[in-house]
Structure 1
Amino acid sequence: MPFTGYQKFVIFILAITQFTVILDFMVMSPLGDMLMKSLDLKPSAFGVAVSAYAFSAGLSGLLTAGFADKFDRKKLLLFFYIGFIGGTIFCGLAESYAVLVAARIITGLFGGVIGSISMAIITDLFALQQRGRVMGFIQMGFGASQVLGVPIGIYIATLWKWEAPFWMVAILSIFIAIAIAIYLKPLTAHLALQHDRSAFAHLWHTVSKRDYRIAFTATALLSIGGFMMMPFGSAFAVNNLGVNYNQLTMLLMVSGVSSLVVMPIIGKLSDKINKFTIFAAASVWMMIICVVYTNLGVTPLLIVMALNIMMMIGIMSRMIPSSALTSAVPEMSDRGAFMSINSSLQQIAGGIAAAVAGMIVTQKSKGSPLEHYNTVGYVIVVISIISIILMWRVYKLTIKKPHYSKVEPAAAEMNEML
């Protein structure tokens, strides 16, 4: 099923929006070693700085879930994106650990909801058989942030200070917000389906559904597995694998390029092949690479690059089919609330993962190797096995849906308008 011209624009604007939100979060990891040395932080303190964003994003999603289906999705996206820009500017102004944590909390309160609003828009406008490709393109923001954003961020951080990358994100986001305001059409088809009188009733109505809770749990566990390695990835590469800052930039770029190549391919495959099969195979692949990588000592750069590429393939091959499957679970009338709660649990779980990783990983002194990082790898393996079981249950739910092979009403209506 081909995309219309307007659908292509929606994919692009949501992808570049995701790029800025992901970059704002992702840049914390490569700046980790620089931040810990600059602000004299222990791994546990840095873990709190990373998880502050995630916890506040999770709280924000829960607070807004009841309202998520009661407003035009375009207006919601703009409101939270403008708040995200403000929080990012605050990060650029931070000059102490306490202010940085406060700034990350504010950024999370707004930025954490943007992904769920984008998912609701995607599910409104695209049929399930298109969503694998859409997710593949949207998730390219993840790879693009590593190819373009993170290396540039590290470069300007070394030229100036660690705050500089946040200013870069804020300036770019302002232009994107203007494009959203001018070109994105209102999305209001879901408003005619609302029956709950209050926001709390709508929130409870969504949470109380058993099928939804299965999807929520699967998403939370996937996030725990994904977030545990990320905060200390750059510190592990520098202090354990023997990668210097110039090589770190190259390493991130190579990993990002690989994800940009892989994601559209995985998106197309997940629309043609069983989505759960791809997810399960990718999970097993990622578990193997994860155990190998976290047990490495000083390693040649080419081997580190190869393992990072293989790990990125596994991560992306899990994210795309799992997102597409989860998007098929909610009814249209619950979609905004479902996506908000799902995103909240994802962020909260990620925050817990980052904080727990901070308690597991230790470092005797500045520049010394991180210890117990391999324990994090083993924990991820256990969580990934449970995730496969839960995603199987989500898959069974999606194939029972009456709209499994049909175009969504909002998508059909939009196509007729165009």
Structure 2
Amino acid sequence: MKDQEPVAFTGYQKFVIFILAITQFTVILDFMVMSPLGDMLMKSLNLKPQAFGFAVSAYAFSAGISGLLTAGFADKFDRKKLLLFFYMGFIAGTIFCGLAHTYAVLVAARIITGLFGGVIGSISMAIITDLFALQQRGRVMGFVQMGFGGSQVLGIPIGLYLANAWGWEAPFWMVASLSIVIAILIAVRLKPVADHLKVQKDKSVYKHFLHTVAKADYRVGFASTALLSIGGFMMMPFGTAFAVNNLGLTNAQLPELFMVSGISTLVIMPVVGKLSDKIDKFKIFIAASVWTMIMCVVYTNLGVTPLLLVMVFNILMMMGVMSRMIPSSALTSAIPEQADRGAFMSINASLQQIAGGVAAAVGGLIVTQQSKGSPLQHYDTVGYVVVGISILSILLMSRVDKLVKRRMESSKAAIVPEEALAH
């Protein structure tokens, strides 16, 4: 069954897509620049790898907690004001990172940045769901999530270039400067997003949170998002170590690999977004999941491989991963009712962060390394675990798909009698 014909965007909707995409870009870039700065930061602040790993995970952990804490408030305010408040907090945290000269201050700065930055994605999702019809959301998700690819293309090369020229603090100052310009644009040009306030029923913040968690349909959405995140994050933390120690790449070749992967996502995402507005979203999700499973098994079983072939395999894998992400995000966005969207998106984003942290920890228990520089062992096992989780994800997403289609049918059935009465 096909969706309706794609609905064209208005000029203002195009501005909203741009501002949300560039906002998402800065938030992801802030997270991504920590990776290439690892060696420089460890030497500058005299850190062990474990300590640096904690500084990175502090962001994700605080972002997950933040989403749960703010879920009850998420539908009580104009979404524009909420976006500005958290974005200003994110900017302050990023500036704090640039001023950090001790490990304790850096961790504190990353926690602050995570507390504010971790909620911005869910607010953006709520705005998208409020302002765009389901038949437009695939394309919107495709453009907004290009921030992930853009941060890979720009985050590592520009972050390293600035850090080499002016010190490891420089990338944070770059992100903060760009974010200040974006915050001004949001304040001046984005219109209030407050229609959800007219349909609010829960007066208490705590009751609103419980009311959102209590809905069985919502819990299906939460579970599907968490499973997708576990599958996605389990391989990611060890990708660079696998590329160097198993595939035989040099550290100098890694920026090229990241850049090519990033450029591929910039090309893939808008195409998949358009397709998911024309073709059944769940069918695209199934095809992408099967493709991802195949590529995960192939990639995790590779031995020493030339750079060009590694790039090809990475692009093929990114095709599957991104082609799952866009239709699944669009379908999940259609689950909550207008009055609950902010709370739903906040809880959903939190579970995504927390599930990612759990996945990284589980992956760490599976993968072993006999000595520094020796090949990773059992990385192929992680690939097989991802396959199992992907199969469960398809089953859960089929329930989400049925929920959304049932809701759309009931909406159409409600409109017909109203039109009949009008005649």
TM over 0.5: yes
- State yes or no: 1:274 paired with 2:263: no
Aligned position for 1:84: 90
Aligned position for 1:206: 212
- State yes or no: 1:381 paired with 2:387: yes
- State yes or no: 1:68 paired with 2:88: no
Change (3 A) 1:30 1:374: farther
- State yes or no: 1:222 paired with 2:228: yes
Aligned position for 2:315: 309
Q: Which moved more, 1:369-378 or 1:388-397?
A: 369-378
Unaligned runs of 5+ in 2: 1-6, 416-423
Task: Provide the rounded CA distance (Å) in 1 between the counterparts of 2:285 and 2:385.
Answer: 19
2:14 to 8, 12, 36: 8
Alpha carbons 1:146, 1:256 under 8 Å: kept: yes
Aligned position for 1:412: none
Alpha carbons 1:47, 1:358 under 8 Å: kept: no
Aligned position for 1:41: 48
Q: Which moved more, 1:195-204 or 1:102-111?
A: 102-111
2:340 to 334, 339, 346: 334
Change (3 A) 1:371 1:92: farther
Output the amino acid matched with 2:183: A
Task: Provide the rounded CA distance (Å) in 2 between the counterparts of 1:18 and 1:160.
Answer: 25
Aligned position for 1:181: 187
Task: Provide the rounded CA distance (Å) in 2 between the counterparts of 1:290 and 1:35.
Answer: 32
Larger radius of gyration: 2
- State yes or no: 1:135 paired with 2:141: yes
Alpha carbons 1:128, 1:405 under 8 Å: kept: no
Q: How does 1:150-299 map to 2 (within 5 A)?
A: 150-299=156-305
Task: Provide the rounded CA distance (Å) in 1 between the counterparts of 2:327 and 2:43.
Answer: 39
Task: Say which SS state the counterpart of residue 330 (structure 1) adopts.
Answer: coil
Change (3 A) 1:294 1:234: same
1:345 to 345, 351, 358: 351
CA distances 1:325-361 after superposition (whole Å, capped 9, x unpaired): 0000000011111111111111111122223333444
Output the amino acid matched with 2:149: G
Task: Provide the rounded CA distance (Å) in 2 between the counterparts of 1:267 and 1:308.
Answer: 20
Unaligned runs of 5+ in 1: 410-418
Aligned position for 1:394: 400
Task: Provide the rounded CA distance (Å) in 2 between the counterparts of 1:49 and 1:58.
Answer: 15
Alpha carbons 1:33, 1:235 under 8 Å: kept: no
Alpha carbons 2:36, 2:159 under 8 Å: kept: no
Output the amino acid matched with 2:273: G
Aligned positions, number? 406
Task: Provide the rounded CA distance (Å) in 1 between the counterparts of 2:214 and 2:289.
Answer: 29
Q: Which moved more, 1:15-24 or 1:236-245?
A: 236-245
Change (3 A) 1:91 1:225: farther
Q: Which moved more, 1:345-354 or 1:245-254?
A: 245-254
Task: Give the deviation of 1:265 after TM superposition.
Answer: 0.7
Task: Give the deviation of 1:219 after TM superposition.
Answer: 0.3
Task: Give the deviation of 1:33 after TM superposition.
Answer: 5.9
Task: Provide the rounded CA distance (Å) in 2 between the counterparts of 1:91 and 1:267.
Answer: 35
Task: Provide the rounded CA distance (Å) in 1 between the counterparts of 2:309 and 2:11.
Answer: 42
Change (3 A) 1:45 1:229: farther
Q: Which moved more, 1:282-291 or 1:178-187?
A: 282-291
Output the amino acid matched with 2:320: G
Change (3 A) 1:110 1:198: same
Task: Please report the TM-score for the alignment, with normalisation by the length of structure 2.
Answer: 0.90
Change (3 A) 1:191 1:394: same
CA distances 1:371-403 after superposition (whole Å, capped 9, x unpaired): 443333222222111111111111110001147
Output the amino acid matched with 1:395: D
Alpha carbons 1:57, 1:108 under 8 Å: kept: yes
Alpha carbons 2:285, 2:327 under 8 Å: kept: yes
Aligned position for 1:94: 100
Task: Provide the rounded CA distance (Å) in 2 between the counterparts of 1:368 and 1:157.
Answer: 29
Task: Give the deviation of 1:105 after TM superposition.
Answer: 1.6
Alpha carbons 2:63, 2:114 under 8 Å: kept: yes
Task: Say which SS state the counterpart of residue 34 (structure 2) adopts.
Answer: coil
Aligned position for 2:3: none
Aligned position for 2:30: 24
Task: Provide the rounded CA distance (Å) in 2 between the counterparts of 1:321 and 1:23.
Answer: 23
Change (3 A) 1:23 1:404: farther
Task: Provide the rounded CA distance (Å) in 2 between the counterparts of 1:404 and 1:363.
Answer: 55
Task: Provide the rounded CA distance (Å) in 2 between the counterparts of 1:221 and 1:66.
Answer: 23
Alpha carbons 2:64, 2:350 under 8 Å: kept: yes
Task: Provide the rounded CA distance (Å) in 2 between the counterparts of 1:394 and 1:32.
Answer: 39
RMSD: 2.2
- State yes or no: 1:321 paired with 2:327: yes
Using CA pairs under 8 Å that are at least 6 residues apart, name the structure with larger relative contact order, 1 or 2.
1
Alpha carbons 2:32, 2:155 under 8 Å: kept: no
Task: Provide the rounded CA distance (Å) in 1 between the counterparts of 2:270 and 2:54.
Answer: 34
Output the amino acid matched with 2:93: G
Task: Please report the TM-score for the alignment, with normalisation by the length of structure 1.
Answer: 0.91
Task: Provide the rounded CA distance (Å) in 1 between the counterparts of 2:255 and 2:212.
Answer: 43
Output the amino acid matched with 2:180: I
Q: Which moved more, 1:281-290 or 1:24-33?
A: 24-33
1:113 to 119, 137, 153: 119
Task: Give the deviation of 1:95 after TM superposition.
Answer: 4.0
Alpha carbons 1:218, 1:391 under 8 Å: kept: yes
Output the amino acid matched with 2:223: T
